[in-house]
Structure 1
Amino acid sequence: MFQKILASIGVGAAKVDTVLQQEHCYAGDPVRGAVRIEGGAVEQQIDSIYLVLSMLYTKEADDRKVKVQYDLDRFQLTEPILISPGEKREVPFSFLLPLETPVTFGSRSVWVSTGLDIKNSIDPTDRDYLEVLPSPLLGKVLESVQSLGFRLRQAECEELPHRLRQHVPFAQEFEFVPTSGPFHRKLDELELLVLPVAKDELEIVMEIDRKARGLAGLLSEAMDLDETRVRFRVVPQDLPQFAGKLEQMIFRYC
Structure 2
Amino acid sequence: MLKKLMAKLGVGAAKVDLQLDRSGYRLGETMTGVVRIEGGNVEQSISDLSAVLMMKAYVKGQEVRKAVQLYPVRSNFTVQPKPAVQEIPFAFELPEGLAMSTPSIQYFLHTKLDVEMALDPTDMDFIQVLPPEPVERVLQALERLDLRQKQDSGKLTPYGQEFSFFPATQLGMPLKELEVIFFSAPGELKLLVELDLATGFLRREVEYKAEIVVPQGLLQPGQEEELSRFLLETIREYANNPSVIPYVSMAAYRQGQYGHHSHRGSGMGGMIGGMAAGFLGGMLLNEMMFGDEEMASEDDMGGDEGDDGGFDFGGFDEEL
TM-score range, shorter chain: 0.7 to 0.9
Change (3 A) 1:193 1:66: farther
Post-superposition shift, 1:111?
Answer: 1.3
1:26-65 equivalent positions in 2, closer than 5 A: 26-59=26-59, 64-65=60-61
Post-superposition shift, 1:81?
Answer: 0.6
Residue 76 (structure 2) aligned to one of 76, 80, 90? 80
Number of residue pairs matched by the alignment: 232
Name the residue aligned to 2:131. Answer: 134
Change (3 A) 1:202 1:47: farther
Per-residue displacement from partner, 1:177-206 (whole Å, max 9, x unpaired)? 11114256x2321111234546x6545432
Post-superposition shift, 1:128?
Answer: 1.1
Q: Which runs of 5+ in 2 are unaligned?
A: 220-225, 243-302, 304-320
Q: Which runs of 5+ in 1 are unaligned?
A: 165-170
For the pair 1:180 / 2:176, whether they are aligned, the reply is no
Aligned-residue Cα RMSD (Å) equals 2.8
1:56-135 equivalent positions in 2, closer than 5 A: 56-59=56-59, 64-86=60-82, 87-104=84-101, 109-135=106-132
Change (3 A) 1:115 1:209: same
Q: Is the 8 A contact 1:148 1:247 kept in 2?
A: no
Post-superposition shift, 1:47?
Answer: 1.0
Secondary structure at the aligned position of 1:18 is classed as: strand
Q: Is the 8 A contact 1:173 1:193 kept in 2?
A: yes
Name the residue aligned to 1:167. Answer: none
Name the residue aligned to 2:182. Answer: 194
Change (3 A) 1:216 1:174: closer
Name the residue aligned to 1:11. Answer: 11
Post-superposition shift, 1:134?
Answer: 2.7
Secondary structure at the aligned position of 1:188 is classed as: strand
Change (3 A) 1:58 1:67: same
Bigger mean CA deviation after superposition, 149-158 or 233-242: 233-242
Post-superposition shift, 1:238?
Answer: 5.4
Structure 2 letter corresponding to 1:83: V
Distance 2:172 2:92 in 1: 42
Secondary structure at the aligned position of 2:137 is classed as: helix
Distance 1:148 1:251 in 2: 17
Post-superposition shift, 1:123?
Answer: 1.3
TM-score normalised by L of structure 2: 0.63
Q: Which has the higher strand share?
A: 1
Secondary structure at the aligned position of 1:22 is classed as: coil
Secondary structure at the aligned position of 1:28 is classed as: coil
Q: Is the 8 A contact 1:106 1:131 kept in 2?
A: no
Change (3 A) 1:251 1:110: farther
Post-superposition shift, 1:138?
Answer: 0.6
Structure 1 letter corresponding to 2:155: C
Distance 1:235 1:43 in 2: 60
Distance 2:102 2:58 in 1: 16
Q: Is the 8 A contact 1:50 1:114 kept in 2?
A: yes
Structure 2 letter corresponding to 1:158: L
Change (3 A) 1:107 1:92: farther
Distance 1:92 1:247 in 2: 51
Q: Is the 8 A contact 2:102 2:154 kept in 1?
A: no
Q: Is the 8 A contact 1:149 1:183 kept in 2?
A: no
Per-residue displacement from partner, 1:109-157 (whole Å, max 9, x unpaired)? 1111111112322211111111333321011111232233311223333
Distance 1:190 1:28 in 2: 27
Name the residue aligned to 1:168. Answer: none
For the pair 1:236 / 2:234, whether they are aligned, the reply is no
Distance 1:32 1:236 in 2: 30
Post-superposition shift, 1:84?
Answer: 1.3
Distance 1:14 1:140 in 2: 45
Report sequence identity in percent.
31
1:200-215 equivalent positions in 2, closer than 5 A: 201-211=188-198
Structure 1 letter corresponding to 2:108: W
Per-residue displacement from partner, 1:80-126 (whole Å, max 9, x unpaired)? 11111112101101122223333335788111111111232221111
